[in-house]
Protein backbone atom coordinates (compact mmCIF):
# COMPACT_ATOMS: atom_id res chain seq x y z
CA UNK A 1 0.00 0.00 0.00
CA UNK A 2 1.89 3.08 -1.27
CA UNK A 3 0.81 6.61 -0.36
CA UNK A 4 0.98 8.83 -3.46
CA UNK A 5 0.49 12.52 -4.28
CA UNK A 6 -0.91 14.15 -7.41
CA UNK A 7 2.08 16.03 -8.83
CA UNK A 8 -0.17 18.77 -10.24
CA UNK A 9 -2.09 19.25 -6.97
CA UNK A 10 -0.26 18.12 -3.86
CA UNK A 11 -3.45 18.27 -1.81
CA UNK A 12 -4.81 15.34 -3.83
CA UNK A 13 -3.60 11.94 -2.61
CA UNK A 14 -4.34 8.27 -3.06
CA UNK A 15 -3.29 4.87 -1.76
CA UNK A 16 -2.17 2.29 -4.31
CA UNK A 17 -1.89 -1.42 -3.63
CA UNK A 18 1.00 -3.02 -5.46
CA UNK A 19 2.17 -6.63 -5.51
CA UNK A 20 5.86 -7.07 -4.58
CA UNK A 21 8.05 -7.02 -7.68
CA UNK A 22 10.36 -9.90 -8.49
CA UNK A 23 14.01 -9.39 -7.58
CA UNK A 24 16.63 -9.45 -10.31
CA UNK A 25 20.21 -10.58 -9.81
CA UNK A 26 22.11 -8.07 -7.67
CA UNK A 27 18.96 -6.63 -6.09
CA UNK A 28 17.75 -6.84 -2.48
CA UNK A 29 14.44 -6.00 -0.83
CA UNK A 30 14.07 -3.64 2.11
CA UNK A 31 10.92 -3.62 4.22
CA UNK A 32 10.13 -0.09 5.39
CA UNK A 33 9.55 -0.13 9.16
CA UNK A 34 9.34 3.47 10.43
CA UNK A 35 9.92 6.95 9.06
CA UNK A 36 9.73 10.54 10.20
CA UNK A 37 7.58 13.22 8.60
CA UNK A 38 7.87 17.01 8.82
CA UNK A 39 7.61 20.17 6.74
CA UNK A 40 10.85 19.07 5.07
CA UNK A 41 8.90 16.32 3.31
CA UNK A 42 6.35 18.86 2.09
CA UNK A 43 9.30 20.72 0.57
CA UNK A 44 10.18 17.53 -1.32
CA UNK A 45 6.65 17.54 -2.78
CA UNK A 46 6.65 21.27 -3.56
CA UNK A 47 9.98 21.05 -5.39
CA UNK A 48 9.39 17.52 -6.64
CA UNK A 49 9.75 18.33 -10.32
CA UNK A 50 12.25 21.19 -10.02
CA UNK A 51 14.69 19.22 -7.85
CA UNK A 52 13.87 15.70 -9.18
CA UNK A 53 12.54 14.43 -5.84
CA UNK A 54 9.77 12.55 -7.66
CA UNK A 55 12.41 10.62 -9.58
CA UNK A 56 13.72 8.61 -6.63
CA UNK A 57 10.68 6.34 -6.23
CA UNK A 58 8.82 6.41 -9.57
CA UNK A 59 5.04 6.08 -9.65
CA UNK A 60 2.40 6.04 -12.36
CA UNK A 61 2.48 9.07 -14.70
CA UNK A 62 1.22 12.18 -12.93
CA UNK A 63 1.66 10.76 -9.43
CA UNK A 64 4.57 10.90 -7.01
CA UNK A 65 5.85 9.12 -3.92
CA UNK A 66 7.11 11.62 -1.35
CA UNK A 67 10.57 10.65 -0.08
CA UNK A 68 10.98 10.17 3.67
CA UNK A 69 13.89 9.30 5.92
CA UNK A 70 13.64 6.28 8.14
CA UNK A 71 14.58 2.71 8.98
CA UNK A 72 14.11 -0.42 6.90
CA UNK A 73 14.95 -4.09 7.37
CA UNK A 74 16.68 -6.25 4.79
CA UNK A 75 14.13 -9.03 4.28
CA UNK A 76 15.59 -10.58 1.12
CA UNK A 77 19.33 -10.21 0.53
CA UNK A 78 19.01 -12.27 -2.67
CA UNK A 79 22.65 -13.26 -2.75
CA UNK A 80 24.00 -9.73 -2.20
CA UNK A 81 26.47 -9.05 0.61
CA UNK A 82 23.76 -7.51 2.79
CA UNK A 83 22.52 -9.58 5.73
CA UNK A 84 18.90 -10.55 6.06
CA UNK A 85 17.37 -9.07 9.20
CA UNK A 86 19.79 -6.15 9.45
CA UNK A 87 18.49 -2.61 9.96
CA UNK A 88 19.44 0.20 7.59
CA UNK A 89 18.75 3.94 7.60
CA UNK A 90 18.15 6.11 4.56
CA UNK A 91 15.84 7.56 1.92
CA UNK A 92 12.59 5.61 1.56
CA UNK A 93 9.16 5.80 -0.08
CA UNK A 94 5.92 6.13 1.91
CA UNK A 95 5.13 2.48 1.36
CA UNK A 96 5.94 -1.07 2.44
CA UNK A 97 9.15 -1.84 0.60
CA UNK A 98 12.01 -0.70 -1.58
CA UNK A 99 14.13 -2.70 -4.01
CA UNK A 100 17.78 -1.62 -4.04
CA UNK A 101 20.87 -2.56 -6.01
CA UNK A 102 23.63 -2.45 -3.38
CA UNK A 103 27.03 -1.29 -4.54
CA UNK A 104 30.11 0.05 -2.74
CA UNK A 105 29.06 -2.12 0.18
CA UNK A 106 31.08 -1.71 3.38
CA UNK A 107 30.52 -2.42 7.05
CA UNK A 108 29.14 1.07 7.38
CA UNK A 109 26.69 1.16 4.48
CA UNK A 110 26.05 0.91 0.77
CA UNK A 111 24.91 2.91 -2.24
CA UNK A 112 21.79 2.09 -4.23
CA UNK A 113 22.95 1.76 -7.84
CA UNK A 114 19.49 1.16 -9.32
CA UNK A 115 19.67 2.58 -12.85
CA UNK A 116 17.18 5.45 -12.52
CA UNK A 117 18.96 6.74 -9.39
CA UNK A 118 22.41 6.88 -11.00
CA UNK A 119 21.73 10.39 -12.34
CA UNK A 120 20.32 11.67 -9.03
CA UNK A 121 22.28 13.39 -6.22
CA UNK A 122 24.46 10.74 -4.54
CA UNK A 123 23.80 12.15 -1.06
CA UNK A 124 20.31 10.65 -1.25
CA UNK A 125 21.41 7.25 -2.54
CA UNK A 126 23.49 6.15 0.45
CA UNK A 127 22.15 3.79 3.11
CA UNK A 128 23.67 3.34 6.56
CA UNK A 129 23.98 -0.09 8.15
CA UNK A 130 22.88 0.63 11.70
CA UNK A 131 25.04 -2.04 13.35
CA UNK A 132 28.16 -0.04 12.45
CA UNK A 133 26.68 3.47 12.57
CA UNK A 134 28.31 5.63 15.30
CA UNK A 135 25.25 7.89 15.32
CA UNK A 136 22.66 5.11 15.66
CA UNK A 137 21.02 4.30 18.98
CA UNK A 138 17.83 2.31 19.41
CA UNK A 139 16.77 4.72 22.15
CA UNK A 140 16.86 7.71 19.82
CA UNK A 141 15.47 6.19 16.61
CA UNK A 142 12.58 8.66 16.51
CA UNK A 143 14.89 11.67 16.80
CA UNK A 144 17.18 10.24 14.12
CA UNK A 145 14.32 9.78 11.65
CA UNK A 146 12.93 13.23 12.33
CA UNK A 147 16.03 15.34 12.70
CA UNK A 148 19.05 13.61 11.21
CA UNK A 149 18.30 14.58 7.58
CA UNK A 150 17.18 18.06 8.61
CA UNK A 151 20.21 18.50 10.83
CA UNK A 152 22.53 17.42 8.03
CA UNK A 153 21.02 20.22 5.93
CA UNK A 154 21.53 22.57 8.88
CA UNK A 155 25.09 21.36 9.38
CA UNK A 156 26.17 21.98 5.80
CA UNK A 157 24.17 25.24 5.53
CA UNK A 158 25.81 26.59 8.68
CA UNK A 159 29.18 25.47 7.28
CA UNK A 160 28.40 27.02 3.86
CA UNK A 161 27.47 30.37 5.41
CA UNK A 162 30.65 30.37 7.50
CA UNK A 163 32.67 29.21 4.48
CA UNK A 164 31.40 32.31 2.68
CA UNK A 165 32.23 34.59 5.64
CA UNK A 166 28.48 35.07 6.26
CA UNK A 167 28.43 37.09 3.04
CA UNK A 168 29.90 40.00 5.04
CA UNK A 169 26.68 40.22 7.06
CA UNK A 170 26.27 40.83 10.79
CA UNK A 171 22.77 39.39 10.88
CA UNK A 172 21.04 36.24 9.67
CA UNK A 173 17.24 36.35 9.39
CA UNK A 174 15.35 33.03 9.24
CA UNK A 175 11.72 32.71 8.19
CA UNK A 176 9.48 29.92 9.51
CA UNK A 177 11.55 30.05 12.69
CA UNK A 178 9.41 27.38 14.35
CA UNK A 179 10.25 24.80 11.68
CA UNK A 180 12.62 22.03 12.65
CA UNK A 181 15.14 22.92 9.96
CA UNK A 182 15.13 26.56 11.01
CA UNK A 183 15.66 26.03 14.72
CA UNK A 184 18.36 23.44 14.06
CA UNK A 185 20.26 26.02 12.01
CA UNK A 186 19.69 28.69 14.65
CA UNK A 187 21.10 26.32 17.28
CA UNK A 188 24.26 25.72 15.24
CA UNK A 189 24.88 29.40 14.54
CA UNK A 190 24.22 30.29 18.19
CA UNK A 191 26.78 27.67 19.26
CA UNK A 192 29.62 29.44 17.41
CA UNK A 193 32.05 31.62 19.35
CA UNK A 194 32.09 34.27 16.62
CA UNK A 195 28.85 34.65 14.74
CA UNK A 196 26.24 37.06 13.41
CA UNK A 197 23.01 37.93 15.19
CA UNK A 198 20.25 35.38 14.53
CA UNK A 199 16.72 36.72 14.08
CA UNK A 200 13.72 34.42 13.71
CA UNK A 201 10.50 35.32 11.91
CA UNK A 202 7.36 33.42 12.88
CA UNK A 203 3.60 33.61 13.17
CA UNK A 204 1.98 35.14 16.25
CA UNK A 205 0.67 31.71 17.24
CA UNK A 206 4.18 30.21 17.33
CA UNK A 207 5.91 33.18 18.97
CA UNK A 208 5.98 31.74 22.48
CA UNK A 209 7.38 28.41 21.28
CA UNK A 210 10.14 30.02 19.22
CA UNK A 211 11.16 32.41 21.99
CA UNK A 212 11.30 29.46 24.39
CA UNK A 213 13.86 27.65 22.24
CA UNK A 214 16.57 30.09 23.28
CA UNK A 215 18.44 29.75 19.98
CA UNK A 216 17.41 33.07 18.46
CA UNK A 217 18.83 36.39 19.61
CA UNK A 218 15.54 38.02 18.65
CA UNK A 219 12.16 36.79 17.42
CA UNK A 220 9.70 38.87 15.40
CA UNK A 221 6.29 38.06 14.04
CA UNK A 222 5.74 38.51 10.31
CA UNK A 223 3.90 41.79 10.86
CA UNK A 224 6.94 43.15 12.72
CA UNK A 225 9.43 42.86 9.85
CA UNK A 226 9.61 46.67 9.65
CA UNK A 227 11.38 46.59 13.02
CA UNK A 228 14.50 45.19 11.33
CA UNK A 229 17.24 47.77 10.86
CA UNK A 230 17.16 48.39 7.13
CA UNK A 231 20.85 49.30 6.91
CA UNK A 232 22.25 46.26 8.71
CA UNK A 233 24.12 43.88 6.40
CA UNK A 234 21.87 40.82 6.35
CA UNK A 235 21.61 37.28 5.01
CA UNK A 236 18.03 36.07 4.57
CA UNK A 237 17.53 32.32 4.92
CA UNK A 238 14.07 31.53 3.62
CA UNK A 239 12.58 28.39 5.15
CA UNK A 240 8.98 29.44 4.45
CA UNK A 241 9.07 30.15 0.72
CA UNK A 242 6.33 32.74 1.26
CA UNK A 243 6.53 35.32 -1.53
CA UNK A 244 4.93 38.04 0.61
CA UNK A 245 7.36 37.54 3.48
CA UNK A 246 10.29 37.41 1.07
CA UNK A 247 9.21 40.69 -0.53
CA UNK A 248 8.80 42.33 2.89
CA UNK A 249 12.30 41.25 3.99
CA UNK A 250 13.91 42.31 0.70
CA UNK A 251 12.13 45.67 0.85
CA UNK A 252 12.93 46.36 4.51
CA UNK A 253 16.54 45.17 4.45
CA UNK A 254 18.39 47.50 2.13
CA UNK A 255 21.64 45.95 3.37
CA UNK A 256 20.71 42.46 2.17
CA UNK A 257 23.89 40.72 0.96
CA UNK A 258 22.42 37.30 0.18
CA UNK A 259 19.01 35.65 -0.04
CA UNK A 260 18.90 31.87 0.25
CA UNK A 261 15.84 29.67 -0.22
CA UNK A 262 15.97 26.40 1.68
CA UNK A 263 12.38 25.26 2.12
CA UNK A 264 8.74 25.85 1.34
CA UNK A 265 6.80 25.47 4.58
CA UNK A 266 4.40 28.17 3.33
CA UNK A 267 4.01 26.19 0.12
CA UNK A 268 0.74 27.87 -0.84
CA UNK A 269 2.39 31.29 -0.94
CA UNK A 270 5.25 30.51 -3.28
CA UNK A 271 5.72 33.15 -5.95
CA UNK A 272 8.09 34.73 -8.42
CA UNK A 273 11.03 36.98 -7.62
CA UNK A 274 10.97 39.26 -10.66
CA UNK A 275 10.07 42.43 -8.75
CA UNK A 276 12.26 41.81 -5.71
CA UNK A 277 14.72 44.52 -4.68
CA UNK A 278 18.18 43.37 -3.68
CA UNK A 279 19.97 40.11 -4.54
CA UNK A 280 18.20 37.40 -6.51
CA UNK A 281 17.27 34.49 -4.21
CA UNK A 282 19.37 31.37 -4.73
CA UNK A 283 18.21 27.84 -3.92
CA UNK A 284 20.50 26.12 -1.42
CA UNK A 285 21.20 22.51 -2.35
CA UNK A 286 22.86 20.68 0.54
CA UNK A 287 24.43 17.86 -1.53
CA UNK A 288 26.67 20.39 -3.32
CA UNK A 289 28.31 21.44 -0.03
CA UNK A 290 28.54 17.80 1.06
CA UNK A 291 30.49 17.00 -2.12
CA UNK A 292 32.80 19.96 -1.43
CA UNK A 293 33.46 18.93 2.17
CA UNK A 294 33.98 15.30 1.21
CA UNK A 295 36.76 16.58 -1.02
CA UNK A 296 38.13 18.92 1.67
CA UNK A 297 37.85 16.69 4.73
CA UNK A 298 37.29 13.18 3.38
CA UNK A 299 34.11 11.26 4.12
CA UNK A 300 35.39 10.17 7.55
CA UNK A 301 36.28 13.75 8.46
CA UNK A 302 32.85 14.98 7.43
CA UNK A 303 31.16 12.22 9.41
CA UNK A 304 33.25 12.96 12.52
CA UNK A 305 32.33 16.66 12.43
CA UNK A 306 28.66 15.91 11.84
CA UNK A 307 28.57 13.30 14.62
CA UNK A 308 30.04 15.75 17.11
CA UNK A 309 27.44 18.38 16.23
CA UNK A 310 24.64 15.80 16.25
CA UNK A 311 25.58 14.44 19.68
CA UNK A 312 25.55 17.99 21.08
CA UNK A 313 22.16 18.68 19.49
CA UNK A 314 20.33 15.53 20.68
CA UNK A 315 19.88 16.45 24.36
CA UNK A 316 18.79 19.95 23.38
CA UNK A 317 16.18 18.97 20.81
CA UNK A 318 14.76 16.23 23.02
CA UNK A 319 13.61 18.98 25.40
CA UNK A 320 11.92 20.90 22.58
CA UNK A 321 9.69 18.34 20.92
CA UNK A 322 7.10 15.64 21.57
CA UNK A 323 7.15 12.53 19.38
CA UNK A 324 3.71 11.71 17.94
CA UNK A 325 3.36 8.12 16.68
CA UNK A 326 1.09 7.24 13.76
CA UNK A 327 0.47 3.86 12.09
CA UNK A 328 -0.15 2.60 8.57
CA UNK A 329 -1.42 4.39 5.48
CA UNK A 330 -4.20 6.09 7.45
CA UNK A 331 -1.59 7.51 9.80
CA UNK A 332 0.53 8.55 6.83
CA UNK A 333 -2.37 10.39 5.19
CA UNK A 334 -3.43 12.08 8.44
CA UNK A 335 0.13 13.24 9.08
CA UNK A 336 0.68 14.43 5.51
CA UNK A 337 -2.48 16.57 5.48
CA UNK A 338 -1.85 17.96 8.97
CA UNK A 339 1.64 19.11 8.07
CA UNK A 340 0.59 20.27 4.59
CA UNK A 341 -2.14 22.47 6.05
CA UNK A 342 0.18 23.90 8.70
CA UNK A 343 -2.00 22.56 11.51
CA UNK A 344 0.72 20.68 13.36
CA UNK A 345 1.93 22.08 16.65
CA UNK A 346 5.58 23.14 16.20
CA UNK A 347 6.56 21.03 19.19
CA UNK A 348 5.08 17.87 17.63
CA UNK A 349 7.31 15.52 15.65
CA UNK A 350 5.64 12.74 13.67
CA UNK A 351 6.78 9.15 13.27
CA UNK A 352 4.84 6.73 11.04
CA UNK A 353 5.14 2.98 11.57
CA UNK A 354 4.25 0.63 8.70
CA UNK A 355 1.65 -2.00 9.65
Distance between CA atoms of residues 222 and 241, nearest Å = 13
| Half-sphere exposure for 210 (CA within 13 Å, toward CB) | 27
The model's pLDDT over 189-206, given as tens digits with 9 standing for 90+, comes to 999 999 999 999 999 999
User: Are the C-beta atoms of residues 148 and 104 closer than 8 Å to each other?
Assistant: no
The answer to whether residues 243 and 271 belong to one domain is yes
Q: Distances from the Cα of 105 to the Cαs of 77, 101, 109, 129, 158, in angstroms?
A: 13, 10, 6, 10, 30
Q: Please report whether residue 47 resides in a domain.
A: yes
Q: Please report whether residue 96 resides in a domain.
A: yes
pLDDT of residue 267: 45
- 173 has which bridge partners? 199, 236
Distance between CA atoms of residues 165 and 136, nearest Å = 33
Residue-wise burial string across 215-238, b where 16 or more C-beta atoms lie within 10 A, e elsewhere: bbbebbbbeebeebeeebbbbbbb
Q: What is the mean pLDDT of residues 286-295?
A: 89
The answer to whether residues 65 and 169 belong to one domain is no
**Domain closes at, from 243, 264, 286:** 286
Q: Please report whether residue 315 resides in a domain.
A: no
Q: Is pLDDT above 70 for 272?
A: no
The answer to whether residues 81 and 169 belong to one domain is no
Distance between CA atoms of residues 188 and 309, nearest Å = 8
**Nearest residue to 98 via CA among 115, 75, 78, 80:** 75
Count of the separate structural domains present in the chain: 2
Q: Please report whether residue 40 resides in a domain.
A: yes
The model's pLDDT over 58-106, given as tens digits with 9 standing for 90+, comes to 999 999 999 999 999 999 999 999 999 999 999 999 999 999 999 999 9
Q: Please report whether residue 310 resides in a domain.
A: no
CB atoms within 10 A of CB 138: 8
Q: Please report whether residue 300 resides in a domain.
A: no
Q: How confident is the model at residue 288 (pLDDT cuts 50, 70, 90)?
A: confident
User: Are the C-beta atoms of residues 99 and 23 closer than 8 Å to each other?
Assistant: yes
The answer to whether residues 15 and 63 belong to one domain is yes
Q: Is pLDDT above 90 for 40?
A: no
Q: Please report whether residue 55 resides in a domain.
A: yes
pLDDT of residue 273: 54
Q: Is pLDDT above 80 for 181?
A: yes
Q: Please report whether residue 313 resides in a domain.
A: no
The answer to whether residues 9 and 125 belong to one domain is yes
Tell me the average pLDDT of the chain: 91
The model's pLDDT over 226-265, given as tens digits with 9 standing for 90+, comes to 999 999 999 999 987 788 999 999 999 999 999 998 865 5
The CATH number that applies at residue 16 is 3.90.180.10
pLDDT of residue 251: 95
User: Are the C-beta atoms of residues 35 and 69 closer than 8 Å to each other?
Assistant: yes
pLDDT of residue 263: 62
Q: Is pLDDT above 60 for 322?
A: yes
**Nearest residue to 239 via CA among 312, 296, 184:** 184
Radius of gyration of the CA atoms of the chain, in A: 20
The model's pLDDT over 150-167, given as tens digits with 9 standing for 90+, comes to 898 999 999 999 999 999
The answer to whether residues 72 and 49 belong to one domain is yes
pLDDT of residue 264: 54
Q: How confident is the model at residue 300 (pLDDT cuts 50, 70, 90)?
A: confident
The answer to whether residues 170 and 129 belong to one domain is no
Range of the domain at 202: 146-286
pLDDT of residue 270: 53
Torsion of CA 110, 283, 66, 205, to 10 degrees: 120
The answer to whether residues 81 and 151 belong to one domain is no
The CATH number that applies at residue 163 is 3.40.50.720
The answer to whether residues 182 and 105 belong to one domain is no
Q: How confident is the model at residue 180 (pLDDT cuts 50, 70, 90)?
A: confident
List the Cα angle 276/277/282 in 5-degree steps: 65
Q: Is pLDDT above 90 for 51?
A: no
The answer to whether residues 263 and 334 belong to one domain is no
- 102 has which bridge partners? 112
The answer to whether residues 154 and 129 belong to one domain is no
The model's pLDDT over 106-153, given as tens digits with 9 standing for 90+, comes to 999 999 999 999 888 888 999 999 999 988 989 889 999 988 888 989
The answer to whether residues 185 and 270 belong to one domain is yes
pLDDT of residue 123: 81
**Domain closes at, from 286, 310, 335:** 286
Three-state SS for the chain is CEEEEECCEEEEEEEECCCCCCCCCCCEEEEEEEEEECHHHHHHHHCCCCCCHHHCCCCCCCEECCCEEEEEEEEECCCCCCCCCCEEEEEECCCCEEEECEECCCCCEEEECCHHHCCCCHHHCEEEEHHHCCCCCHHHHHHHHHHHHHHHHHHHHHHHHHHCHHHHCCEEEECCCCCHHHHHHHHHHHCCCCCCEEEEEECHHHHHHHHHHCCCCEEEEHHHHHHCCCCCCEEEEECCCCHHHHHHHHHHCCCEEEEEECCCCCHHHCCCCCCCCCCCCEECCHHHHHHHHHHHHHHHHHHHHHHHHHHHHHHHHCCCCEEEEEEHHHHHHHHHHHHHCCCCCCCEEEEEECC
**Domain closes at, from 234, 267, 286:** 286
Amino acid sequence: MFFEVDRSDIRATRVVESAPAELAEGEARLAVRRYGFSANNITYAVFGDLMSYWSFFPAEEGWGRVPVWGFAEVIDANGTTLEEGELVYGYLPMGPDLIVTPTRVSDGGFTDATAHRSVLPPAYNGYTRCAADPVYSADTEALQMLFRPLFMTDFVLDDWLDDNAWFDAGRVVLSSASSKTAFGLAHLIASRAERPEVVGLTSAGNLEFVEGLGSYDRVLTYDQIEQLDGEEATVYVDMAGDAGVRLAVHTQCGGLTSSVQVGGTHWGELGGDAALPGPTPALFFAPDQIVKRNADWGSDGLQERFSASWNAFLPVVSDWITVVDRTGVDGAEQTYMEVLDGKADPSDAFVVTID
